Structure 1
């Protein structure tokens, strides 16, 4: 299984907001710290806002915060919401499936069970578990640490 770049960036954004939960954060500081382009980030932030994971405030004094407490956000919920439009294999793509084996395939149900097991494992992990008490993460995601690191994103 391979996660999309969108999911990876989504988790970085949520962890950054969680690590800086005491203030509004900006798109540019997240891009700097999380090593991603502001274009990708803008799309991800917009989607996470639509899904209720983030609260965005526009304007000169605007920024981004978590849309609800870290203790109420599971990693599985985020992955499902962000990955929902990406089928695991072609045979799960409604309307786009061209596999001639679909009616006789015994692999498809196994893949479905494995995918559900993957999500169930992540359902048991809260955003707060990734952030709270994680001193290494807090050092990486402190604004001063991000500013001193060379940018690698395009």
Structure 2
């Protein structure tokens, strides 16, 4: 299964926010951190907000904050919300059209089962399990240790 970049960035944002769950993050800060346009980031934040995963506040001192503790946010649910409307294969979509294999295809049931298994497995983990730690990235640690 391949996730969209929309979902990829949404997960990254949530991982970052889970590293400091009591802190509000501005859209400018997150956009700069992920080298993403503020417009695209705003769309992702809107979807996360609609899903009840984050709360947003406009203006000075505003920003986005997790709506629930990271330990209560299941990864499968995050993927379901962010990938909403993205069919795994064309025949799963609302606009599937006519399939010449319809009624004879045995792949569709297997793909649906695999998709369910994928999401069920992700439901075993929470955002707390994948929250970013506050240590510098590995490359930065290696640089610190190699200084003369």
Q: TM-score range by the shorter chain?
A: 0.7 to 0.9
Give the C-alpha shift of residue 140 in structure 1. 5.2
What do you get for the CA RMSD once the two structures are aligned? 1.7
The Cα offsets for residues 15-72 of structure 1, whole Å up to 9 and x where unpaired, read as 1111122321111111122232212101000110111000001112211100111011
Spell out structure 1 runs of 4+ moving beyond 6 A: none
Give the C-alpha shift of residue 108 in structure 1. 0.5
Where does 1:1-154 land on structure 2 (aligned, <5 Å)?
1-131=1-131, 135=133, 138-139=134-135
The Cα offsets for residues 69-105 of structure 1, whole Å up to 9 and x where unpaired, read as 1011011000011112111111111243332112110
Give the Cα–Cα distance (whole angstroms) in 2 for the partners of residues 99 and 140 of structure 1.
Answer: 51
Larger Rg: 2
Unaligned runs of 5+ in 2: 141-148
Match of 2:144 in 1: none
Q: TM-score, normalised by structure 1?
A: 0.83
Unaligned runs of 5+ in 1: 146-154
Give the Cα–Cα distance (whole angstroms) in 2 for the partners of residues 140 and 63 of structure 1.
Answer: 24
What is the number of residues matched between the two proteins? 138
Q: TM-score, normalised by structure 2?
A: 0.86
Give the Cα–Cα distance (whole angstroms) in 1 for the partners of residues 38 and 136 of structure 2.
Answer: 19
